[in-house]
Amino acid sequence: MVATTKQNDTKSSVYSTRIDIPGEIRSQVNTLLNQSLATAIDLKTQIKYAHWNVKGKDFYQLHLLFDEIASEVEEFIDLIAERIATLGGKALGTARIAAKESELPEFPFDAVDGMDHVIALSDRLAIYAKSLRKNIDKTNDLGDMDTNDLFIEISRAIDKRLWFLEAHLQSSFQNKDHSNKSEE
Ligand SMILES: [Fe+2]
């Protein structure tokens, strides 16, 4: 049985469940999770784009690194979607919904060299990291510590992958010009 049946509430409706979290809270948590799902799916496709299209002297190691990160994000996509279903919701994870709901800008298609791709992906991982930290706070406020723990797990991994990318930009002769603009 679905808790809310109105047509335009379909996205936030939740099935009844024996889980002892009120439907209203589960619905609010699922809204956060579905936004994060859309962003993660978009992020994964953009990382694969970089994996396929990167050129230059660092091609092979970046080609492999990007694929490693994409695989990790793929695992998080599944964890997020299954948490939504666990909470009685609908995992809104089609490509169309992801493109519409993602928090990321489109990948810059004029990127060619390795560092162009590293900068573009660093910018996008930083946006997702910031969004995850907001969701950590919001799920803490809502009292769903299991989803809070999931966001923390993903956040820590995205931060680490951002380090892997930014380490390419932090050598003594490739300095501040490459830092992203999202520090304010
Ligand atoms: Fe591949």
In a domain, 8, yes or no: no
Would residue 69 count as lying in a domain? yes
> Looking at residue 154, which CATH number applies to its domain?
1.20.1260.10
133: in domain? yes
The pLDDT mean for the chain works out to 91
- State the distance from the centre of ligand 1 to the C-alpha of 91, rounded, in angstroms: 26
Task: Say what the pLDDT of residue 11 is.
Answer: 73
Q: How many domains does the chain have?
A: 1
Give pLDDT, residue 171: 78
Q: Does the residue 7 lie in any domain?
A: no
Q: Tell me: the pLDDT tens digits for 19-61?
A: 999 999 999 999 999 999 999 999 999 999 999 999 999 999 9
Q: What range does the domain containing 50 cover?
A: 19-172
pTM metric for this prediction: 0.89
**Would you state the pLDDT for residue 51?**
98
Separation of CA 176 and ligand 1 centre (Å): 31
CA of 33 to the centre of ligand 1 (A): 28
Q: Is residue 184 part of a domain?
A: no
Q: Is the pLDDT of residue 180 over 80?
A: no
3 in a structural domain: no
Residue 81 has pLDDT above 70, yes or no: yes
Q: Note the pLDDT of residue 12.
A: 77
65 alpha carbon to ligand 1 midpoint, in Å? Answer: 11
- More confident call, 176 vs 73: 73
Cα four-point dihedral sign 139, 144, 145, 149: negative
Give long-range contacts, CB 8 A cutoff, 24+ apart: 58-67: 58/114, 58/115, 58/168, 59/114, 62/114, 62/117, 62/118, 65/164, 65/165, 66/117, 66/121
In a domain, 151, yes or no: yes
Asked, for residue 99, whether it belongs to a domain, the answer is: yes
The model's pLDDT over 119-133, given as tens digits with 9 standing for 90+, comes to: 999 999 999 999 999
